[in-house]
Structure 1
Amino acid sequence: MGGATPERLADIGEEDLLARIFPLFGIEQDAYLPVGPGDDAAVLSVPDGRVVATTDAMVRGSDWLDHWSSGADVGAKCVAQNVADVAAMGARPTGLLLTLAAEPDTRVDWALDLARGIAQAAREFGCRVIGGDLSGAPAGLLLVSITALGDLEGRAPVRRDGARPGDVVAVAGSLGRAAAGLLALERGAGDAAPDLVAAQRRPRPPVQEGPRAAELGAHAMIDLSDGLVRDAGRVARASGVTVDLSSAALAADVDALVDAGHDVLTSHDARGCVFGGGEEHSLLAVFPPDVALPGPWRPVGRIVARSGEDSTPPSGVTVDGDPVDVQGWDHFGG
């Protein structure tokens, strides 16, 4: 005898789904959230007077595959990529708005698993879900989007355009592990590299280090979502400088991936993941040269003046002074 047919969203409707999801978020109104979900909009207190806001979306088939990631994995990952962007501005994440656009045949247990993953990640990063939206979608479409809000707590926002020649380039968090996990999954060898696969499914950005970097006087900062080279290049172009990465400083990251890959990755693969792998959501910041970097910040390069349009690589990034052959991820170009 087969089991009961799983409930679909079409079987229960929007109101019933919300009634099942809200308790998972454990939302309580207080001085910081005077009006929570249930009205037309939530009201969030903003002691600083400024709101840091960002949004990111994930689409099934493009950003995850169901046989690689559970609903909870998708929820946790979508939270991580948003709170990392807030942290990269030097802010503390405070509130999350969730949008789910799903075909009516989507299983209810998947949607509840998604909510559990979001709730768990929100608690880990010190913020909470304050509202959102549910929408039906055409057959085959499943989209999860989160808007994250943050509090600067009196600090100036740290932008991408403040890097200066002589500054130190530093990273907080791991490099290449999420990309290496994706490679392992694509090669059908996920079981051989479980730690790397976990980094791909549920990245753990060092969110607390964003405000810390701001307090230390970071001149520029960015979330490493599309790869070290591509995102460092965004800082370089915004600041009108060149980011020169150190291969010696990054050698340990490459070696660590080879070891964690258990024969799944070659040294060439590992180097590509460290320099070009996306979805890590670690933080890259640029500090004045006289700042004593606390752990987990570690220097990986330096800022140098542009030497002229003809000699500066288009990426704005060099490695040991030479152009780099890794570009990173582009959402439309791959």
Structure 2
Amino acid sequence: MKLSDSHEDALIQRVTQHLHQRDDVLVGPGDDCAVITQADGSLLLLKTDCVVESVHFLPEADAERVGWKALARVVSDIAAMGGTPTACVITLILRPDTSVEWLDALYSGIQRCATDFELSIVGGETSSAPPLAPNIISVAGTGSLPPQHLVKRSTSQPGDAIFVTGSLGGSIHGKHLDFTPRLEPAQWLVKHHKPSAMMDLSDGLAKDLPRLAQLSQTHYQLDLNSLPLTPSCTTQQALADGEDYELLFTLPPSLASDLQNSWPSHFPPLTQIGHMTTADSPSTPLNGGWEHFSS
């Protein structure tokens, strides 16, 4: 069997199901970040992500924007757990014919993101790629988190309201290189209206919401007419384009109205798009979303 014969989630389950976990691992594979309990009771977040040429960015894309995206993806995942990014290391796998000017611009974007979100770049690794291989930038990051602010994907409950920030769809037109990780809204949420579950939208609502529901052992009903569409996008594009990097979260229905009334005006718009249901009720049919290894 080839990788293209299976779904990404099944492949991840296959390679992680027998991994050894120490007792200090609070959250392992399957969430936006791994979570380790520290000796003082605080939580350490760990996340790694990569961007691959011709997969996550086109060869002609501006290198500074590519650098921003490479680090911002990790910041977005740390935000989705309710945490604060602290440090990162960067691995570069580059073709020898890559220009030094391209590398300088790449690091300009990485540093701009690090400065904006107050995290340190503390090291990394470089390796050459074969002449016809794509350039790859991999970022591994750490974050900190008080235990009371931890939000996972797996803790949504039937009846919970479903919310998203910002607008969905149209990432291919440039949004995927310029998005702002929703760190401030996520940190505000965990302090004032802690979600029952949360994740960032990287593979599209049609792919990511079912993941949250499966881990929470729930189903969901969406009001497709309520989806916040990026201008000129269709509902299907909002569901399936991916790389929105908005927050998807659930909240007990008793808190939904108060959240909407107190949502800070300088944050991206907040939209309630449906509710979670019990696992024995049907979910709204959804199609599409990004699938790695798809043929």
For the aligned pair, the TM-score class normalised by the smaller chain equals 0.7 to 0.9
Q: TM-score, normalised by structure 1?
A: 0.69
1:140 aligned residue (114, 132, 139): 132
1:304 aligned residue (267, 274, 277): 277
Instruction: Report matched runs for 1:7-22 at 5 Å.
Output: none
- 8 Å Cα contact 1:213/1:285 also seen in 2: no
Give the CA deviation at 1:48: 6.5
Instruction: Report matched runs for 1:7-46 at 5 Å.
Output: none
- 8 Å Cα contact 2:79/2:181 also seen in 1: no
- What is the CA–CA distance in structure 2 between the aligned matches of 1:305 and 1:49, rounded to whole Å? 33
1:237 aligned residue (205, 210, 214): 214
| Aligned-pair Cα RMSD in Å | 2.1
How many pairs align? 247
Deviations 1:217-269 (A, max 9, x none): 2110011000012111111100111121112321xx33x522xxxxxxxxxx6
Percent identity reads 31
- What is the CA–CA distance in structure 1 between the aligned matches of 2:243 and 2:145, rounded to whole Å? 24
- Provide the residue aligned with 2:44 in structure 1: 51
- What is the CA–CA distance in structure 2 between the aligned matches of 1:134 and 1:175, rounded to whole Å? 35
Q: In 2 relative to 1, CA 174–80 (structure 1 residues): closer, same or farther, beyond 3 Å?
A: farther
- 8 Å Cα contact 1:48/1:151 also seen in 2: no
Q: In 2 relative to 1, CA 239–213 (structure 1 residues): closer, same or farther, beyond 3 Å?
A: same
- 8 Å Cα contact 1:48/1:152 also seen in 2: no
Query: Which has the higher Rg, Structure 1 or Structure 2?
Result: 1
- Provide the residue aligned with 1:110 in structure 2: 102
1:61 aligned residue (54, 71, 76): 54
- Provide the residue aligned with 2:5 in structure 1: none
- 8 Å Cα contact 2:153/2:215 also seen in 1: yes
- What is the CA–CA distance in structure 2 between the aligned matches of 1:84 and 1:48, rounded to whole Å? 24
- Provide the residue aligned with 1:277 in structure 2: 241
- 8 Å Cα contact 1:217/1:288 also seen in 2: no
Deviations 1:90-119 (A, max 9, x none): 111111211111122211011110000001
Q: Which runs of 5+ in 1 are unaligned?
A: 1-44, 182-196, 259-268
- Provide the residue aligned with 1:28 in structure 2: none
Q: In 2 relative to 1, CA 235–304 (structure 1 residues): closer, same or farther, beyond 3 Å?
A: same
Instruction: Report matched runs for 1:143-292 at 5 Å.
Output: 143-179=136-172, 181=173, 197=174, 199-215=175-191, 216-250=193-227, 253-254=228-229, 256-258=230-232, 270-291=234-255, 292=258
Give the CA deviation at 1:200: 2.7
Q: TM-score, normalised by structure 2?
A: 0.78
Q: In 2 relative to 1, CA 213–48 (structure 1 residues): closer, same or farther, beyond 3 Å?
A: farther
- Provide the residue aligned with 1:94 in structure 2: 86
